[in-house]
Structure 1
Amino acid sequence: MPIPAKAFQRWLHGIAPDVSTSDVCRAAGIKRSTLAQQLVRGKVAGGTVVSISRAYNINPVSALAGFDAFSQLAGPQRQPTRYELISQISTPDLLRAVLLRSVADPGGQPHAGHPRTNQPEAGLSESRPSALGPPPHATSVKSWVEAIDDGELRHRVSVATGIAPQNYSAQLTANRLAPELAIATSLAAGVGPASGLVATGLITEAEAGWPPGARQAALDSMTDGELTTLAGERLQTLGRALRRQEHDQEKTDKIWENLG
């Protein structure tokens, strides 16, 4: 979601009044030419504000909320739902959890109706809190939307934003979502507006106010049946994507053979 250049410059002057543009870019790790191009166009990317905020120890959510385009982020942040937390756990992490439970229960007896309590198991539970990779993951955007979709969510987002359903679906397939669409999706689903920005990777879970260890706790709350089913669904999705890639590669190879 672009931010008007004038509003951005006022904000930047407020947090770094005596700092040159070059020094700001150096501190934020962004190219000066990139910022210059955005200013010339009159629209600054939200990611630019996020990078500069981090460089000056300002919470990016609070910084973004100061702009009209991100005003929905103002105020206390709503906590993510259990399903949102689970959606931000990568497929490899889900599979590792399945294996850990199998090792902890060598008899292989399922516990379909009861979540695991994360009891200490030699060499296993001690590493759990820090084992999960941070969002986003390979399907974080699509998984997040699926986690909050009541069946009519995409239609509501399309009506609210004017985006064509096929264009919205294309972004999800590519595991990306423009900030304005991420926020619109959150609002249409009735969840915290910052959650979608975590799924897209614009901000971190800590910056969004998610409690430390919340994703791990959500994972531990899943029954064996829930965990295995979700991991299986993720693998099926991955398998379909890989088959499409293989098919496309075969077609490309045949074209080159014919041209050769």
Structure 2
Amino acid sequence: MGLALKSGPVAKIPPGDASAGLPLPLHQRTWSGFILGAVCATAGVATWSFVVGGSTAFYLDARMGTAAMLAGGLLGQFLVTLAGVPASTKYGIETVVSTRPQLGVRGSNIALGVVFCTTLGWNIVLMIFFGRAMASVLELLGLLDSSSKPLVSTVLSVAGVVFVWFLVSRGASSLKQAGPVIAVVITLMAVYLFILLVKNHGIDAIFAAQPLAPTDRLVNYTTGIEILLVSTLGWWTYMGGIVRMVSTGRKAILP
């Protein structure tokens, strides 16, 4: 028995357009390892280093906190890398699509729900932090009265949402251009804050500082690792969307 295959017009995705969610062919994967690393650093420095690092300080001091963050972060990222990088870089697919061999087409909606909830919840937290931080800066500069700080924080959070939507709606090319710039700015800001801490307090005082709300030593260390492990697993939700923009797994591993 033979099967007759009829040729017909094939829909084409415009070069560099990753918004359709279809597998990207190699010639459309235009990101280098540096671009991918910059995009990862943009999220990593701003969120995991500042927000999650601040949470770890409740349980651990500087020495144990650094060790716990490295251990939990590497463990979580190892699992996420195994789950997402091979399929996404080989076939150019997103995270949700990569779950279809295990869950099926309908079952992959579970992964879609996880991606939606994780991304929505995490970005809400980030936008709240962004609005409050900007309002605090304006207050310190004397441009804002403390009584209007809550309202200004809300307005700035909404403005941040609009800006991010505008940036993301332009597609992968927008992230490719903005990623390195944002990564450099955030990294320089982190270095500047570290220099201020050392200058104003000294290395000895930083390492001698006690955690904010410690309990049992083992519980503290375990909690620090778990905070980083759980938060790093959140990378899985959008790992495929950025990793599939590079052509090989080798370019994705180091970033």
Interval of TM-score (by shorter of Structure 1 and Structure 2): under 0.3
Q: What is the TM-score with the length of structure 1 in the denominator?
A: 0.27
Question: Which fold has the larger relative contact order, with Cα–Cα distance below 8 Å and residues 6 or more apart in sequence?
Answer: 2
Q: What is the TM-score with the length of structure 2 in the denominator?
A: 0.27
